[in-house]
A and B are shown apart, each in its own frame.
Chain A
Amino acid sequence: QVQLVESGGGVVQPGRSLRLSCAASGFTFRNSGMHWVRQAPGKGLEWVAVISYDGSQTYLGDSVKGRVTISRDNSKNTLDLQISSLRPEDTAIYYCVKGGGGHCGGGVCFIGPYFDYWGQGVPVTVSS
C-alpha cells in the first residue's frame, strides 16, 4: 500500500531555514508528480508546491514563491521541501502528497490535477 512518511519538522526561529523530507513506498515513485500541502492550526488546506516525475518541473503556491524549493531523489524514493526565511505564518502541518490523475506516455509522465494519497503530516512551528 502507498506509504508517505514525513520528517524534519520542529520548532524554528523566524528567518531560519528548514528542510522537510518524505519517504515514499508502495507505488512507482519515479512516475508520480508529488506535492506538499500545508494546514495552519485550525485553518484549511493550502497547496504549497508540486514537482514533476523527473524533477524537471516545479511549481509553487503564491504564499511561498521565492522561499521554497521542492526536490526529489528518484533513486531513494524521497521528496524534500526546503523553506527559507521562515515566518510565523508558515506554522502548519506539512503533508507530503502523491499526485493523482497523472499519466505516462512516450517516456514522459504528466502531473495530474488532484491528490490521491496523503502522508500523516509533520508539524512545523515558527516561533522565537
Chain B
Amino acid sequence: SFDLTQPPSVSVSPGQTARITCSGDSFPKHYAYWYQQKPGRAPVLIMYKDIERPSGIPERFSGSSSGATVTLTISGVQAEDEADYYCQSADGSSTYFFFGGGTKLTVL
C-alpha cells in the first residue's frame, strides 16, 4: 500500500516540542522523507532517510522511526516553524512516489 497517514494538525506553544507522525505500510522497509512548506512557498526538504538532516536545517529538527511509524520532532518550536509538513516515501525501485496528506503545525 502507498498510503501515508499524518494528523491534519498539531498545535504547540513556543519553546515546546512538536511531534508529527506518519504511518504507512511502506515503513520500515523504505525510508521516510520530510518537507516543510510555508504559505505561498515551495516545499523544502528537511529530513531524509528517516533521520538525516540536510545542511542548513536547524538541529531542532530531528527524525525517528519505529515500525510502521516515522516521526518528525521539532524541539524548542519557534514561531517561524509554523508551516505544513509532509512525509514522503517511494517504492523500492524509485518508480513510484507518494506523500502523506500533510500536517499543519500551528505555533500558539
Instruction: Give residues in A with beta carbon < 8 Å to B.
Output: 33, 35, 44-47, 50, 57, 59, 61, 95, 99-102, 110-121
Contacts and interface: CB of A to CB of B under 8 A. Distances in A.
A113 B95 contact: no
Contacts of B54: 116
Contacts of A33: 94
Q: State the main secondary structure of chain A at its contact with B.
A: strand
B43 A50 contact: no
A121 B45 CA distance: 16
Nearest to B32: A114
Nearest to A117: B45
B42 A119 contact: yes
Interface in B25-77: 30-31, 33, 35, 37, 42-45, 48-49, 54
23 contacts: A35-B97, A44-B101, A45-B37, A45-B99, A50-B94, A50-B95, A59-B96, A61-B96, A95-B43, A100-B45, A100-B48, A101-B94, A111-B95, A113-B33, A114-B31, A114-B48, A114-B97, A115-B33, A115-B43, A115-B88, A116-B45, A118-B43, A119-B42
Interface string B68-98: 0000000000000000001011100011111
A113 B44 contact: no
Contact of A115 (B35, B49, B96, B101): B35
Contacts of B88: 45, 114-115
Interface of B: 30-31, 33, 35, 37, 42-45, 48-49, 54, 86, 88-90, 94-102
A47 B97 contact: yes
Nearest to B34: A114
Given A44-B101, A59-B96, 5 more contacts: A45-B99, A45-B102, A112-B94, A113-B94, A115-B97
Contact of A113 (B31, B35, B37, B99): B31
A59 B45 CA distance: 22
Contacts of B90: 113-114
Nearest to A119: B42
Top 5 nearest A-B pairs by Cβ distance? A113-B90, A118-B42, A47-B97, A114-B33, A111-B94
